[in-house]
A and B are shown apart, each in its own frame.
Chain A
Amino acid sequence: MKVSGTLLLRAYLCLALVCLAVPVLSMIWLSFDANQLPSIPIRNYSLHWYEEVWQNPDIREGLINSVIVGLSVAALSVLLGLVSAYWLCRRLSARMSPLYVSIVSLPCFAPLLLAGMAMLMYFQTIQLAGNIGAIIAAHTCYCSPFALSLIRLSYERLNPELECAARNLGAGNFRTIFMIIVPQLWPALAAAAMLSFLVSWDEFVMSWFVGGFTKTLPMVLYDMIGSSYNPSVNAVGTVVTLVSGVVLFTVLVLSQRSQTAKEARE
């Protein structure tokens, strides 16, 4: 009997998804285990570890730092991304645009280790290290190219005559951007903001180098993962995973919306 290629591919896909999900799912599962050490099958379920996590001041501080950094990075990345997308689509000649994109996307092409290390030396030299601003700056370097590519995708489909019409009717630059461009691009802008937040939320390497004593949530987690098994980490991990899941879902829905909105207009 000849096995269909499609069937094989689907089976492989499901297998891969299961393999990728198992570590995370088992962590979520174990976060409800009352036992100090993981034991299968779980005998007592409890929310004890979540309470512990909630009481822990380090984790709270890390959470707040992560949220502040994430939101700031999202705002900065979208701003930079919008401005660069405008520049790329409306002002730059076709020859120069690959060069511009390359320069702007440089941080994505080298290991984050390098960036983190270099930035630490740099910030310490100019007395800015160990600061939440340093983390925000570092993350923005890495996230803004993603924002740019998302926004650019939508921007290229925009009718250039709309901006010309607004200008001809007397609108200045700010009016054109905020009354004409932004209302049309909002799904892409929102998706870019959420993606930047997500990448920053998850980012560990650069934060570790640059943050010093200012700790984001992943840094707190790293410290907690010593040689001994600390079950609170399961709880934190679960919360973090759920937040990421919600944001990722929103990003996908928003990019779907901007896609269909474009097609409806065409």
Chain B
Amino acid sequence: MHSLTPLLAVKSVSKRYESLQALSNLSLSVNAGEFVCLLGPNGSGKSTFLKILAGTEPKSAGEITYRGHVLNPNSPWQKDLVMVWQSLALFPHMNVEDNVGFGLSVRGISRKDRLDRVQQTLRKVGLAGYGARKIHELSGGEQQRVALARALVLSPTVLLLDEPFGAIDVQLRSQLQALLREIHRSEGLTILMVTHDISEALALAEKIVVLDHGKVQQTGCPNEVLHQPRTAMVADFMGQKNVFLGTIMANKGSVVTVRTAAGDFRCQAATWLDAAIEVGQQAAYVIDAAKVRTWSKGENELDATIESRCILGSLTVIRANAPGVGSIRCEVYNGDSRTALLASDDIKLAWNVSDAFVIPQPAASYAEPRPVHSATKDLIIA
């Protein structure tokens, strides 16, 4: 399915602005036909990295190889990587047809061929007949499609997307996401998408790369990143887990005791991490939101005060505050009869030892990208 040599290999790329280190030692590999999402908070360097790949931003250090050739802005391979910009960057003085056909006209394609290909691509994105319209006459969603068409018409090998679905409403966004998925499937493109929206990444990506402060925190398939975080940042960022910072007090048998500001809790070691667990080490204690019970006793218990309740479909997400550890997220199924629909604000949270794990800090230093388990595609949409 995927060839053994990656299509795009990024080795130790760094980018420094005057006083700001935007990217540090970033290494990544992308296989042909993969849908990769770069996920991370604002300022984590993901857009910068994409711009380096697009050839409009020079890198300070490191090497990027594409199909085995060194990739830099002047090499002929650069034209295989086409980008859809965050601000869309549609040329306001041209109409839709000229915008979409711009890349073709630059490559010297004849007018007739250009028109044909533009019409074809516009049909593909659902904008048939929009050729003569001016950009400012289009709605937000239509402009996004034009931006997408402008990139697709060039039949790129790699499609780069910088937060393409940022400023549009949810319904439109899911339509466009479906379009993107369809195009990925039918054209066999390799897609690299930057987003800060976790649910979008989980919905679309085969491989997720989590970035923070210009460094790769974890690379893996969605299930891994969600349920087997390698650093506290990843665990916290994905939103599904509660992370408490503390110190390892004891490690007996397979049970680790961690002292946090809210008390001592017990958990198991994370089987996917290689780091050794030493007593006295700083660590992050992680418990999944879905595993926190509000109705019964458990091996770990914590008193908390409810801050808010939010109904999300079949779940109620409860945010409770415990002194010392701040906000804790719990998920409760609405149909669960064991839950007294919590009239009072004080609750006791409980969870099992086997459901929690510990990540020793500093987080396992992450150098090699792990092989993608393409079979494990069971995605959980938060």
Contacts and interface: CB of A to CB of B under 8 A. Distances in A.
- The short answer to whether A and B are in direct contact, CB under 8 Å, is yes
Interface of A: 93, 159, 161-162, 164-172, 175, 179-180, 183-184, 265
Contacts of B81: 168
Contact of B106 (A162, A164, A171): A171
B273 to A, nearest CB: 39
A264 to B, nearest CB: 8
Given A159-B87, A161-B85, A175-B106, A168 B93 contact: no
Contact of B89 (A162, A171, A175, A179): A162
Interface string B69-108: 0000000000101110111010111000000001100110
Given A162-B91, A164-B51, A180-B91, A169 B85 contact: no
30 contacts: A159-B89, A161-B85, A161-B86, A162-B89, A162-B91, A164-B54, A164-B56, A164-B85, A164-B89, A165-B83, A165-B89, A166-B91, A167-B55, A167-B56, A168-B56, A168-B82, A168-B83, A169-B82, A169-B102, A169-B103, A170-B79, A171-B102, A171-B106, A172-B106, A175-B106, A179-B102, A180-B91, A183-B93, A184-B92, A184-B93
A183 B87 CA distance: 19
Interface in B177-220: none
- Which 9 pairs between the two chains have the least Cβ-Cβ distance? A169-B103, A165-B89, A161-B89, A164-B56, A170-B106, A183-B93, A161-B85, A168-B54, A171-B106
Given A168-B55, A169-B150, 10 more contacts: A164-B56, A164-B89, A165-B85, A166-B91, A169-B82, A170-B79, A170-B106, A179-B102, A180-B91, A184-B92
Interface in B111-145: none
Contacts of B87: 159, 161
Contacts of B317: none
Interface residues of B, number: 22
Nearest to A182: B93
Contacts of A265: 92
Contacts of A169: 82, 102-103, 106, 150, 154
Contacts of B54: 164, 168
A170 B103 contact: yes
B274 interface: no
Contacts of A184: 92-93
The main secondary structure of chain A at its interface with chain B is: helix
A184 B135 CA distance: 14
Nearest to B17: A93
A30 to B, nearest CB: 48
Contacts of B56: 164, 167-168
A170 B89 contact: no
B156 to A, nearest CB: 10
Residue picked from B82, B85, B106, B154, most chain A C-beta under 10 Å: B106
B169 interface: no
Interface in B229-263: none
Nearest to A175: B106
B336 interface: no
Nearest to B107: A170
B378 interface: no
Nearest to A94: B18
Contacts of B102: 166, 169, 171, 179
Contacts of B83: 164-165, 168
A162 B93 CA distance: 11
Residue picked from A93, A161, A169, most chain B C-beta under 10 Å: A169
A177 to B, nearest CB: 13
Contacts of A179: 102
